[in-house]
Amino acid sequence: MLWNGKRLFVCATDDNHNRFPEGHPHCDSFGGFTFIKAKELKYEAVIKALEKGDFYASMGPEIYELYVEDGKVHLTCSPAQRIIMPPKGRNFSCVSAYEGESVTEAVFELGDLNYEEYFRFEVLDSRGRRAATRAILLRRNGLILYL
């Protein structure tokens, strides 16, 4: 769908069944959630953010900033093991932490995308939990269609 220029958003849920209490190793509650970027915590603002795609899915990591400046994509986040920009093809860009350390920011060159039509990000923390952004479409000339 993305290859055909369709907008897709990502959200997260925990799919819990509450068979085990909170704190139990088999508790399946609170495993996924959706961070929404709204101007205020009111129904209208939240719905508008959801319609625009101003949110991301997470199992734990937080994404603080995602912006484009001078042909580079910048992402800042909570301490992570890896920040990945997976393309639709085989090659991907990644910023990884050394063992025992963490990363909290990554900068990727838009020029590295070559012929990609979109890009997105995943943040992986030391516990294997992920956060994922929606896909950000590019125009044919490399300009951002929307962010």
Residue 77 lies in a domain: yes
Statement: residue 7 has pLDDT above 70: no
Q: What is the CATH number of the domain that holds 66?
A: 2.60.40
Contacts of 56 (CB under 8 A, 6+ apart): 10, 34, 35, 63, 131, 132, 133, 134
Residue 31 lies in a domain: yes
Residue 90 lies in a domain: yes
User: Based on the structure, what is the number of domains in the chain?
Assistant: 1
Structure confidence at residue 101 as a pLDDT band (50, 70, 90) = very high
Question: How far apart are alpha carbons 44 and 52 in whole angstroms?
Answer: 12
Residue 146 lies in a domain: no
∠ CA 73-48-44, nearest 5°, is 145
Q: Which of 121, 115, 54, 72 is nearest to 93 (CA)?
A: 121
Task: State whether residue 41 is helix, strand or coil.
Answer: coil
Residue 63 lies in a domain: yes
- Provide long-range contacts, Cβ within 8 A and 24+ apart, for 46-52: 50/9
pLDDT at residue 3, rounded to an integer: 55
Contacts of 141 (CB under 8 A, 6+ apart): none
Statement: residue 40 has pLDDT above 70: yes
The mean pLDDT value for 58-75 works out to: 89
Residue 144 lies in a domain: no
Residue 69 lies in a domain: yes
Statement: residue 45 has pLDDT above 90: yes
CB-CB contact of 81 with 101 (8 Å): no
Residue 142 lies in a domain: no
Q: Which domain holds residue 26?
A: 2-137
